[in-house]
Amino acid sequence: ITDHFAHRVSRNCPNLSYFRISDCPLVTTLTALQFIESASYRSSDKLDMHMDNTEFDAEKLLFFIKNPCFESSYSNWSLQQVLVPIAYDKPAYLALHQSRKCVLIFV
């Protein structure tokens, strides 16, 4: 699985509310960025993403979101590190749009 696969899923699955990728070294931060970018196309306001053992990098995601060279629509997004209590505190990042759409990225 690569970022290209994630791009296709993010664009063609508007009812998606949960997406899990594990142990895929060819999946990078671009996958999370594509799901953030396509949030306005989804029927649900929230997407839970699990990106365990991938090349996801939160600092790169923040760079993409805040960089003025990229789409201006990213300026309406914020990124915050959180701990989600499940059976234990699971680290995650909350990407939140000013419209209240969000992507919760578990790492």
Domain ranges, ordered by start, for the chain: 3-106
**pLDDT for the residue numbered 72:** 58
Token couple for 107? 């790492």
DSSP 36-69: HHTGGG-SSSEEEEEEEEEE--HHHHHHHHH-TT
Res 71: pLDDT: 61
pLDDT in tens, the chain (107 residues): 899 999 999 999 999 999 999 999 999 999 999 999 899 889 999 999 999 999 999 999 999 888 877 665 667 889 999 999 989 999 999 999 988 899 999 99
3-state secondary structure at position 2: coil
Beta-carbon contacts of 19 under 8 Å, excluding residues fewer than 6 positions away, are 6, 9, 35, 47, 48, 49, 50
Measuring CA to CA, which residue among 63, 61, 70 is closest to residue 103? 61
Please, what is the end-to-end C-alpha distance for the chain in angstroms? Answer: 17
